[in-house]
Structure formats: C-alpha cells, structure tokens
Chain A
Amino acid sequence: MTARFRIGVDVGGTFTDVVCVASDGATTLAKASSTPADQSEGVVNGLGVLADRLGLSLADLLARTERIVHGTTVATNALLERRGAKVAMLTTEGHRDVIEMREGLKPDRYNLRLPAAPALVPRRLRLPVRERIRPDGRVEVPLDAASLDAAIATLKAEQVEAVAVCFLHSWRDDAHERAAAEAVRAALPGVFVTTSAEVLPQIKEFERFSTACVNAYVGPVVSRYLARLRGRLADAGYGGPVFVILSHGGVAPVEEAARLAAGTALSGPAGGVAAGVALAQRGLGQDLITFDVGGTSTDIALIQEGEAALGRGRTVGGERIALESLDIVTLGAGGGSIGHVGAGGTLQVGPRSAGAVPGPVAYGQGGTEPAVTDANLVLGYLDPDNFLGGARKLDREGALAAFGRLGAALGITAMEAAEGVHRLANVRMADGIRVATVRRGVDPRDFALLSFGGAAGLHASAVARELGMTRVAVPVFAAGLSAWGMLHTDLRYEMARSELGTGGVPADDALRAIWEGLESEGRARVAAWFGGAIETRRAADMRYGEQVFEIPVPLDGVEWDSPGLAARVTEAFHARHRALFTYALQGEEVVLVNARLAVIGRLPPMPAAAATTAAAPAEPFATRRARLAGAEQALPVFAFAALAAGQVVQGPAIVESDTTTVLLLPGDAARMDGRGWLDITVPKEA
C-alpha cells in the first residue's frame, strides 16, 4: 500500500519547519531556511528537503499528499514592519478619529517623549460620509449619496489599494456599510474592500474599526502571498486543499484566510498551542502550560481541561485586533536574548535580541554581545560540533570571550556571567508564566509544563522548579511542534453578534432565534469548506448592569430546549463570574451583549505511530563537562531517538536530538513515553 501524507508547514523567523505524517503515523521533520522576501519560496524548499528525507521526488510527495496546513507570519510581519497596503476608511461623519484616539491610551507610561504613533490610516484618508444609525437600528441620517460620491472620488484620486468601511452601530444594522461597500467595489474594481460588520459584528467602535482597518491593511498582502503559494505548489504538482491556521487555533481554507486576513496575525504561535491540545487528547494531561522558547521571545499559553484558552484579541505592532484569538502571553526572552548591564547597573537579559542576524556570538556572524544560547554553549549544555545535527558549528571561544567582557563589567568571572545569564533567563521565563496563570486565576503547580521550540529544553526543568511545578514534558518533535500541531487541529469558524437591547437577557424564544440564525449561517459556510461532520459550540459575552467589561460565558452545558432557558443562561453567567472573580451578585441585572458561536468541522484524527522503536534501554553515547550550580561536572548524554519506551533517565543528564537538547537537573527523573514525549518528574524544592 502506498502511504498518503498530510503536511504541516510553520514559517518562523529563521527556519521553515515542515512536518509530514504518513498514513501509518510515521512522522518526519524537515527544516529549510526561511525566505522573508517571499515565504512561499522557503515553504517549497522545505517540501523539497522533506521529499529527500522520504526518498521521494517532490512531485511524488505532493501527488500523495492529502492536505497541507500552513502557519504564516505574513500578516504579522506586515504589521510589525508597516509594509501593508495603502488603506482608506469611509466612516461616519463626526467620528473620523476613532482609530487614532485609541480610547485615550498610549503605551509606555513613563515615556512622555515617545513620539505619537501614526495611525494605520492617516486622517486625510479617513473620509467622512453623512449617515447615522441608532443603537436600536433606527436610521437617524440616511446614507447620503453626495458625500459617498465625494469620498469615492478621493479614493480614486489617491489610488488606494484597500478600503475599510466603518460606520457607527453597524453591529446593529450594517445596511449602510454594505451599500457603501458595494458602491466602492463598483467604482474601484480590484480594490480590497472590507466592512467593519463583516469582520467583527460587535458593539464598541474602536475594536471593530481597528480590526477592520487591520484587515484592509494586511488583506492585499496576505491575498497576494497565498496566491503565490498556491501557484508554487501547483507548479510543483500539488492540487489538493491548503489550509491556514488562524489566531484562534483552528484552520480555514486559504480563501477564508485571505478574506479575514487579520485573523492570521497569530497564525505563527497558534500551531504550538494546537499541538498542546492534541497531546492532551493523547493522554499527556488535561492541564498544560505551553512553553515555546524561540529565538527572540517565549510564548506561553494555558490549556485547561484539554482546551486552549481564548481571549478577546491582541495588539500586534501597536494595532488592536479584537478577533477571538488564543490567549498567548509573549515574553521578550528567548535563545537570542542578549545579556547586558542595563543603564541602571544591573545584569539584564533581553528584551534586545541578537535575532537571526547576526545571531548569538557563537554563530560567528558578527555578534559581539553574549546571548542566552551563548550561555548554554559556554556552560556545556550544547554540543558545539553537533548544533542542528552539525549543520552549524558553534564558536565556544568567542562566546566565552564575550562573557569575559560582560563579567568584567560586573566584577565576576566569565563563567559566573554565563551562569548568571542562564539563571536570569529562567527567572524571567518563570515570571512570565506567573503572570499568564494569575491572569486566569489559576495556580501553575496544578499544570504540567509542555516544553518545545528549539531552546526550551535547556530551561524547562529550572523554570518548573522556580514555579513549584513538578512535571515537564518534552515532545520528541519539540523543534517542529508548531508544524505538527497544525495537522491536529480542526476547521473552525468563529461568529459573534452583538445582541444588546435595552438591557437584560432576551426571553427564551429570542435566545433560541439568535443562535439559530448564527448556526444556519455558520454551518452553511463551513459546509462549503468540506463535507465532514460539523459541531457548534455556544458562548456569550455578559456583564452585570453597571459593569463596563463583559466576560465570556461558555454555554455548552446549558440545556437549550426546555422552558427556562433565559434563567439558565443567567445562572451560567453568575457561576462564571464567581469562578473568575470569587463572587456573584444574584438579583443584580444581567446583560447579554454578544452571542457567540464556534462552528467546528472535525477533520479525521491523525494516525499515531510509536514514538520510539528502540528495543533496549539506551546507554549514554557521550559525557559532557557542564557547569551546574557553580560547579563543573561530567554529564551523561543520551540520544533522544535511542531511548526505549519506558526507559528512565536520572538527572543530571543531557538528552539531545538534532534539533533539541534537554537539560535534566539533579533529582529529575525523565521517562520516555511511547506516545511521543519525555515525561520529566521534577522534585519539589525544599
């Protein structure tokens, strides 16, 4: 029988990871250099490397591939580097400055010399249109043709590439937005047009307008990129489906990703969280903290009861995107973070990073300031001759000299400085996890730390100790876990509608009608994407009458059909409020603001093969001199792939593969789990 393949592709800042799962569950990882100018080039290169590893031609590989799932940073980079489209905005007369007012907020509290950030759409392209709808849907001012024509004339003269139509109260009635968008499309064919209500039909104009403007800004860039990718894949012989992983952790076809391009802003880190969910389903545990250490940053997310936590949006490159997205805390500390003496005179790690170029000192590409990776090398945790399977030689002497300079500034030795940088990186990562957990009101000690990304394995055990956590898991595919995770998530379409009346929770029949409307529209959309089974999940954003912020309330467990639905929904809110904030206010007015529905198309489960084929427990293949807690000692080094299922490695020791290295500290016991991860028990600190 000929094996069939599913392929996940994760484009990172330095490497493009390609993971392939065959129909027998065999999993293969390939890496290629990322190509920032056109990421699709690196994608096809990576597929070529993968084909080589499988002993196939690229055409044969693609002919046997059923599905490609892609994580892309095109939208993220366009926002961070301000390389998006030239966007104009049509907006309600009298309210053209919503996106630049930014709700009165400015970043960096004590920096009053921070120059004002330019808005994504400059004021001269925020074009007022005479129209006005009331919060109850009444038309206060009809859409004025003359002002619309004048705005369209400006759009033409300015030769904009994209237009966001953003009118007040379109969450209630978007007739004016749709009419204006139609007029723009008719007058300017080929221009990317988006309306605020189609992107986010929710009350609160700043969030809706900002999200729509981001969508217009990245939409043309993402569309062009995905078209290029499809073209390259077609040229290479692939005609099957291509899905993109979105910020909420589900996937959607490329056409949907192009339409809702703002929803790809967290596409990069979403794969890792999806992997956490998949590993939870495979028995790793229901409560996990994902700990993804990359070159410049560490991404932290919570998985509770097997599900990833979602939040109400993100700020990327200073721009608010209020779409439902994974609640990922990003910390400016990673393998490339630089150790330096701060202006205040103390040793600091990050947020400056050596990046991919010049990279750490040990890369020998011109870096002079020591990075966390340099510390890990100097301390003996990394093998200078076998980094990335020998693909890159590391310059230990150069790194040591850099720590000599850093230590001299602090009055300590080079090795003490290196150990200090490693230790401080651990402390910062642990603090990031504390904030991520306290934000959701949970205790990290109840979770296992799921460690992945190239650099996490060297820090995970120490970070767990800092937090009093007793369990760390390092997947076999730690270095390509994001790409692996993308293959294990489902199609997902997130819907929301503001349903705010004059207050209160709607009556039973009205509630059912609201969600029936969402459900029929959502099912139709996902049914167009694929032919499998579709599930839906209800939730609502609710608050007490006088509060300003709504909280998300899952309604999955609420019995829907019998009388008393409104009371049950209200009770679900009280219970959720109590769980989040320790108290509830029975008897207080409860307001339902947004109705939400997640429409999920279940993709067939992925086959799993045994993670290791080793028959007998492996012996260490080398010993390495490493510095732990101020003293040098010889550590046994084990090959990750050679560990037999059930084998236990006692710390201190090093377990390494071509793409990842795990440092076990004294007292750690690491058991190789045949389902695909190293399961490390960390002793409680005395």
Chain B
Amino acid sequence: MSAPDPVTLSVLDNRFRAIVEEMGEAMLRTAYSQILNSSRDFSIALCDGQARLVAQADHIPVHVGAMPFAVQAVLEAFGDAIAEGDIYLLNDPYHGGSHLPDLTIVVPVFAAGRLIFFSVVRAHHTDIGGGTHGAYNPAATEIFQEGLRLPPILLGQGREPRADLVRMIVTNTRLPREVRGDLMAMIGAAHLGEKRLLAVLDRHGAVETEAAIAAILALSEAHARRIIASWADGEWRGEAFLDDDGFGREDIAIRARVAKRGDSITVDLTESDPQVPSFLNSSWPNTASAVRMAIAFLLDPDVAKNDGCFRPIEILAKEGTIVLPREGAPVTMCTSHCSNEIVEAVVKALANACPDRAMGGWGRRYRVAIKGRDPRRPGRDFVWHMFHARPGGGASSQGDGWSTAGEWHSAGGLKFGSVEMAEARFPLFFAKHEFRPGSAGDGTFRGGLGGELVMRLETEGPAVANTAGDGVRYGAAGMLGGRDAAPHHYTLERADGTERVLRTKEVGIPLAPGDVLHVRAGGGGGWGPPEGRDPAARARDEAEGLL
C-alpha cells in the first residue's frame, strides 16, 4: 500500500490530533467529579485496528503508553466478535488496565464492515470500592481489597450501555452518582471520537486512511530513531529506591540496565526487587508506560507520542518482581509509585547517553486524606484530599526546575486548589503555604523547590487521617553530579504539645482539633555539578531566600 501524498498525510495527522483534543474538551465539559473536571486526571487515545496508538491528547503522561494494552486486551477477549456500536469497559491491571480506579472505555470504529480504529477514554474515578475510601488502601495485600475488578466486558451494544451492568458497577462503589456521571461522560467522549473518525473514513476511505496511519507511525518512528541515533552508544545501570512497603521492608530497588545501540534502546528491569505485599507493585501496562514516559521525556517534546515513537524501545522484566507482579498482587499506588522510581532509574541510566537531555528527578507523591466534622456544617462528614505543598520539578541542562510542579507522573499537570476556598469549605486553617527553602537539589542548575504547609485542624471533635505515598527517605535524584533533593518530611504537631513524624503508609491516624499537620515537601533533583553553578544565580537564590 503506497503512502498518501504528503499534503493528505498532514491533513489526516492534524485531524487525528484535533479529534483527541476535541474529545478531551468534551470530557472536561461533561465529567462529573472534581478529579476529572478540575485535576484532569484522564486521557484520550485513538488506536488502530491492531491496537497501535495513533494519536493521544496531552493529559496524564503515565496513562499514555498504557492505553494500547487496554485495546489489546479487548481484542484478545472478543476478537472477531467485536461489532460496530459495541462499548467495552475494563480496569483490571492483569487484563489491560493500570490500576483499579482507572476505568477505560474502548469503542470500535468500522468502515465498510472492517475494524479500522478504536476510540479510547481512560479516567480516574473517585472510588472503586475496596477497603478504603478513594481506592488507595495501604493495608491491602490482595487486589480484592483494592476494589472491583473488571476484565474487558461488553458494556453495551448499539452504542447504548446496558443499564443493569452500569448499576452493578456503580453499586460496588461508595460514590455511585459520581462514578455513573463520569462513566457516561467517558462514553460520550468515546462516541464523539467515533463520529469524527467515521467522517474521516467517509471522506478518505479505509485504504487511504490506513495508509496514512502507517505513514504517520513510520514518520514518528523515524523521528525518534534519528534522535536516539545521535546519542552515545553503551550500556548503563540506573537505580532508584522506594522507602518501604508499609510492612517493614525498606529500600526496595528498581534496577534498570539500559543498552543503547544505534537507534534502539533496550530497558532491562529484570534485576528489580521481588514483588511486595502492598500496593506499590506495578502492573505490566503501567511498567511499560513508565518506561515509555521516561524515554518520551528524553526525546524532543514535539515527537508525536504514538506507536511509532515507542518502536525503538524494548522492555524486559521478570515475573514475580515489583515491576511484573504475579496476578492478584495489589497495585493501586503504581501510577505514582513505583512509576516515579522506574522513570528515575531509566533516566539515570540514559543520562550517560544523552546528558544534555537528562533531567534531575521530579518529586515523589505522598498523599494525605482527612475525614472529620465541620462545626459550621453540623451533621455532615467532610473528606479533604491534600494536593497542596507539592514537590519540586527536576533541573535540566536548560535551567532550574519548576517549583511545586509535582511528580514525574504528572509533570506540572495536576492543579492544587485555592487556600481561601479550602478554608471556606473545610475546618482547616492554613497558617503557612510557601516554598520550602533548602529543599531543592543543588547543581549547575538546581531543582525546583518543594512546598511547605502548616495547617491547623479546626474540626468539631476528633478526625481521622490516612496517608499513602513514598519519598521520606529518598529525595528526587540529582543527575550528572547534581545533588539529590531533600526528601519529604511530614509531622503531626499535637495540640497537647507532642509531635510525631508521619509514616507514608498509615491508616486511621486519630486527630484532634488544634492538631497541626506540618508538611515539608521534597524538591526536585539538581543537574550537573554544583561547582558549575553561575555565582550570580547562587546570589539570586540567596537574595530570594531559597537556600
């Protein structure tokens, strides 16, 4: 099949990108829950009939490389039975999903009876059942304690979801209305994608469209290979550590042996530590996506993120390790941890091949959720999720890192809410929310600063907190002689004058009015030796009070 002329090719390439963007806008408009319409924790993809990623919208980087696994799982489960108008749904990390709260809708697109595309929407839901509110259960030792598992199911036919199946799913969550609303928004966005793709197929025909897809993927592959070929050849190791698994085991290693030869890269994760009993294990789609995300960060930002640009990458892993756990192990934390550590290990190794492209480590995620009563709203519980005091972004050869821009997996894409609004809505008093001086990793370019939060509880009666995260022993890594950033340090300063350090995986911490949560978030890692830093930049940091 010959490629279409270069103009038609560009026209179709633009159309595919515009379609995913339009689907994303539709999702934003119709999503119900704040996690989707405010924090935008969802992603959109178009795949071809062979489950190859054709186009994606720039939403959550850690989703992107994982979406084709969902389509692959649908193809494996249903094969030739897939028909026009079908709606497929899955979330199971052992059958195409990443972790249970991420539901994925897959809609096939046909032309003249032939399967040409899949329109795919993935979104993080506010609850999916399981042992704790909001899906992150540090006590889980089996996936069954994390929530409802959905291997690929046929949710509906004739473009209509089955009402009884939807009811069954939402009944298994604590927030049925939110989950239903978000699920309907996902289906709507996927159908919008289908409608737009049908118009493309109507105009260009299946043959020209498929030829264009092949050409677009080939161009992206060539683009990625040209860049990779410009890097030094060699084989290097990169390591990153998780603090602990919450059950007493510390220093859990992600080990990447990365070989770069010519225009190809092999990432071998087989030497990573064995799987753990808790939710830090990474499902295979998530592991593959984390590796792809790391390499996407090292390529040029304008390389089209599709199947082509991932072709130069081979990934090896061993079953029973934390990056490829046996079916049944809990995995909910994996989109943050150990995604962040996988990215860091790969970037560390490849920093030797392309030092000017490598960046210092981005922060790690450490969540806190508080449940209690507001004296201003009697008779109702509130739940507050902390997105404030974000960690810092990593430095690079191009300059200092972004302060409070977050973690590798979101990379400046996750918004925290207004302090004023939080005080008006919750019985919380934010005495301080500023940069945390000294938190950045030093270097020729320094990392971004993490945040500091001093927050006093003003609840009516006792409250309770859960934590879920990592990074209090290991800060974001410095790169190429740059220093590691300070790790997180969260303390609880009790109203009675006592104080204790919070651990990253605790359930049911009792709190009293007047207690103060003192969060000191880690910064971003530095890039290059600190001796290389421009003295004027150092003087500026001094004057700015950042050191």
Contact = CB atoms under 8 A, between A and B. Distances in A.
Interface of A: 94-98, 100-116, 122-124, 134-135, 140, 168-169, 171, 203-206, 342-348, 410-412, 416, 419-420, 423-424, 427-428, 431, 434-435, 438-439, 441, 500, 502-503, 546-549, 580-583, 585
Across the A-B interface, give the 7 residue pairs with the lowest CB-CB distance, nearest first. A115-B399, A106-B412, A420-B7, A431-B18, A94-B432, A111-B301, A135-B424
B297 A116 contact: no
Contact of A105 (B10, B302, B397, B412): B412
A428 B6 contact: no
A585 B181 CA distance: 11
B30 A549 contact: no
A205 B419 contact: yes
B251 interface: no
Contacts of A343: 223, 300, 302-303
B206 interface: no
B34 A581 contact: no
A396 to B, nearest CB: 21
A498 to B, nearest CB: 9
Interface stretch (B143-151, B154-162, B256-264, B539-547): B539-547
B387 A104 contact: yes
Interface in B389-431: 390, 393-394, 396-406, 411-421, 423-424, 429-431
B6 A420 contact: yes
Contact of A113 (B14, B305, B397, B429): B397
A49 B440 CA distance: 59
Residue of B11, B362, B546 with most partner-chain A CB within 10 A = B11
A502 B301 contact: no
Q: How large is the interface on B (under 10, 10 to 19, 20 to 34, 35 or more residues)?
A: 35 or more
A428 B17 CA distance: 11
A549 B34 CA distance: 8
A124 B541 CA distance: 9
Contacts of A438: 22, 25-26, 29
B464 to A, nearest CB: 19
A110 B424 contact: no
Given A104-B406, A113-B359, A583-B181, A203 B397 contact: no
Contacts of A107: 412
Contact of B403 (A101, A424, A547): A101
A459 to B, nearest CB: 14
B405 A345 contact: no
B173 to A, nearest CB: 15
A102 B21 CA distance: 23
A420 B10 contact: yes
Contacts, number: 207
Interface in B430-469: 430-435, 448, 451, 454
B162 to A, nearest CB: 20
A438 B402 CA distance: 32
Contact of B18 (A105, A435, A581): A435
B58 interface: yes
Contact of B6 (A411, A502, A581): A411
A428 B15 CA distance: 9
B7 A94 contact: no
A642 B394 CA distance: 64
B46 interface: no
B37 interface: yes
B61 interface: yes
B61 A109 contact: yes
Contacts of B15: 427, 431
Interface of B: 5-7, 9-11, 13-15, 18, 21-22, 25-26, 29-30, 34, 37-38, 58-59, 61, 177, 181, 216, 219-220, 222-223, 296-297, 300-305, 357, 359, 362, 376-377, 387, 390, 393-394, 396-406, 411-421, 423-424, 429-435, 448, 451, 454, 543-546
Contact of B431 (A94, A346, A500): A94
Contacts of B301: 108, 110-111, 113-114
A273 B14 CA distance: 27
B348 to A, nearest CB: 14
Contacts of B297: 110, 112
B30 A116 contact: no
B434 A549 contact: no
A427 B11 CA distance: 7
A224 to B, nearest CB: 29
B305 A110 contact: yes
Contacts of A101: 390, 403-404, 416, 435, 451
B302 A342 contact: yes
Nearest to B18: A431
A180 B297 CA distance: 46
A344 B216 CA distance: 9
A364 B180 CA distance: 61
Contacts of B419: 95, 98, 168, 205
A345 B397 contact: no
Nearest to A544: B32
Contacts of B421: 203-204, 548
A135 B423 CA distance: 7
B7 A416 contact: yes
A585 B406 CA distance: 34
16 contacts: A94-B430, A95-B434, A104-B387, A106-B393, A106-B402, A110-B61, A110-B301, A168-B419, A343-B302, A345-B223, A346-B10, A412-B7, A416-B7, A435-B22, A435-B25, A500-B424
Task: Report which residue of B38, B219, B357, B418 has the largest number of chain A beta carbons within 10 angstroms of its beta carbon.
Answer: B418
Contacts of B376: 502
B10 A124 contact: no
A412 B295 CA distance: 34
A346 B400 contact: no
Nearest to A426: B11
Contacts of A140: 429
Nearest to B417: A548
Nearest to B404: A101
Contacts of B398: 113-115
A473 B15 CA distance: 26
A106 B405 contact: yes
User: Among B58, B390, B411, which residue has the most Cβ atoms of chain A within 10 A?
Assistant: B411
Contacts of A581: 29-30
Contacts of B22: 434-435, 438
A96 B420 contact: no
B402 A116 contact: yes
Contacts of B545: 123-124
A96 B404 CA distance: 14
B399 A344 contact: no
A203 B387 CA distance: 19
Contact of A346 (B25, B219, B394): B219
Given A344-B219, A346-B6, A546-B34, A431 B420 contact: no
A581 B189 CA distance: 13
A169 B13 CA distance: 48
Given A112-B394, A135-B424, A104 B414 contact: yes
A423 B10 CA distance: 10
A205 B9 contact: no
B29 A109 contact: no
A435 B26 CA distance: 9
A419 B7 contact: yes
Nearest to B412: A106
Contacts of A342: 302
A344 B223 contact: yes
Contacts of B399: 113, 115-116
A109 B22 CA distance: 18
Contact of B7 (A424, A502, A548): A424
Contact of A345 (B58, B219, B359, B543): B219
Nearest to B418: A204
Given A205-B418, A548-B421, 7 more contacts: A104-B416, A106-B402, A124-B543, A168-B419, A345-B219, A424-B10, A434-B18
A575 B9 CA distance: 44
A682 B394 CA distance: 53
A169 B412 contact: no
Contacts of B362: 112
